[in-house]
Amino acid sequence: MMKIQTTVQFIFYAVFMISSPLLHAQGSQADWPQKPVRLISPFSAGSSVDIMARLISQPLSKLLGQAVVVENKVGAGGNLGVDAVAKAPADGYTLAIATTGPMAINPSLMAHVPYNPIKDFAPVVLLAAGPNVLVVNSSMPVNNLDDLIKTLKANPGRYSYGSSGVGSTNHLAGELFAYKTNTKIIHIPYKGNQDALNDVLSGQISMTFSGLQPLLSNLQAGKIKALVIAGDKRMSAIPDVPTVSELGLKGAEVMPWYGVIAPAGTPASVVNLLNKHISEIMSRPEIFNQFKANGSEPNTGSPAQFAELIASDVTRWGDVIKRAGIQSP
């Protein structure tokens, strides 16, 4: 009898020792978070990405019961901050606001990017996306997209467009537009979007692609003309401006996006909890309206949908970069 009892005790002890690490791991995930969460902004303080990070960090802190600390980690076109997430422990305590640039453009544009945009991250949730708008100087003798295309075809290489730099979304927007319309436009890179816009205003260059917010005051003053929205939906601030989809330029959409990422291998329970909380935050009118005021359309969805968007854009922009022969300076 004693021998049987001892054997039963040994089996119970062995089962407990094997199962207890699993139980502890499950419990620790269920209790997440137990300490502050770091939210990396890969761009400088005051940038659109930084503003977005700070807009969601405070309400997310309240929902999680732990501080969400925004950290600016700037460099290499956003790569430095994104790479910090790729190299972080997959425990949900390091996140970042990712954008089209470091996730979908830089891996094809730059000779060496230290992460794989598909394999090294767990997409959490898309936050917002905002279409580029094509604007021209008000003195340019075109009033719609058809006028512009006819003018460009009649004068190949005469007209130019400005961007915020080689490989920027508005540079690629111009390359994609020229390809889709079979026109030749000279690209002029600037240090920033505002510099390009200033030269459109002064007539030094003919046009630029830009997010809506920097354009609004000059559009309202009649200093520039918006010809088309590089998206599939009209914008309430410029309701009379058609989209490329409406005008038959399918595939010419340019929608720079912003979303939250975590390291690959982050527990699904953590990713799903973050997705739930951030989606709820983005639906709040005060947050929704502030994103719209910054020129981006709030647009969330599931982690799987965000992963699909990233993969699609990696392929799409890689093709544009290869076809145009664009190289990082």
The whole-number pLDDT of residue 26 equals: 42
The whole-number pLDDT of residue 29 equals: 52
Given a contact cutoff of 8 angstroms between Cβ atoms, the answer to whether 74 and 44 are in contact is: yes
Buried b (16+ CB within 10 A) or exposed e, 82-111: bbbbbebeebbbbbbbbbbbbbbbbbbbbe
96: phi then psi, degrees, rounded to nearest 5 = -150, 155
Single pTM value for the model: 0.85
For 293, other C-beta atoms within 10 Å of its C-beta total 10
Tens digit of pLDDT at every position of the chain (329 positions): 444 444 444 444 444 444 444 444 443 456 899 999 999 999 988 888 999 999 999 999 999 999 999 999 999 989 999 999 999 999 999 999 999 999 999 999 998 999 999 999 999 999 999 899 999 999 999 999 999 999 999 999 999 999 999 999 999 999 999 999 999 999 999 988 899 999 999 999 999 999 888 899 999 999 999 999 999 888 888 999 999 999 999 899 999 999 999 999 999 999 999 999 999 999 999 999 988 887 788 999 999 999 999 999 999 999 999 999 998 87
Given a contact cutoff of 8 angstroms between Cβ atoms, the answer to whether 77 and 101 are in contact is: yes
Bridge partner list, 40:
71, 96
Exposed (0-12), middle (13-18) or buried (19+): which is 138, by Cβ within 10 Å?
Answer: middle
Half-sphere exposure (Cβ direction) of 292: Cα atoms closer than 13 Å:
12
From the list 13, 32, 2, the residue with the least C-alpha distance to 266 is 32
Domains and CATH numbers, the chain: 34-129+257-324 (3.40.190.150), 133-229 (3.40.190.10)
Q: Where are the beta strands (DSSP E) in 100-190?
A: 121-129, 133-137, 160-163, 186-189
The whole-number pLDDT of residue 48 equals: 86
The residue written with tokens 């295309």 in the block is: 149
The whole-number pLDDT of residue 250 equals: 87
